[in-house]
Amino acid sequence: MNINKLARFWILGTSFALASCQSWVQLTQEGSQVEVIGDASRVTHCTRVGRARVQTLGKIVVVERGSQRLQDELLTLARNEAADLGGDTIVPESIITDGEQIYGVYRCGN
């Protein structure tokens, strides 16, 4: 392998590694107003406005992404989507499977 090919391979590999560490999801101003509740019994007084099915990459190429980063991105996406639906609270309704999770979206008057 000549030096030029080796340099390209190294740059490509480094780019993929860095991309797997970066979060591409940004919390919107509206999404920042949405509360995350882990216990569905705390939203019994709320009005359900829908469901957010959110998905992000579980791995990039062959690099597995960290579970905390994946969970953070899914929460951010769910909060943004809940705000778009007119909700102010989300509750996870499923576990993370293949980079996807489902959240119930509620309006609780927070």
Q: What is the CATH number of the domain that holds 98?
A: 3.30.110.70
Q: Which residues contact 3 (CB under 8 A, 6 or more apart)?
A: none
- The pLDDT assigned to 69 comes to 83
- Confidence check: pLDDT of 12 > 90: no
Sign of the alpha-carbon torsion through 72, 23, 31, 47: negative
Q: What is the pTM of this model?
A: 0.72
Give me the phi and psi of 49, to 5 degrees please: -110, -5
Domain assignment of residue 66, given as a range:
3-107
Domain count, the chain: 1
Q: In what order do the strands lie in the sheet with 35-36?
A: 35-36, 89-92, 100-107, 47-55
- Average pLDDT (24-52) is 93
Q: Tens digits of per-residue pLDDT, 13-34?
A: 544 444 444 457 799 999 999 9
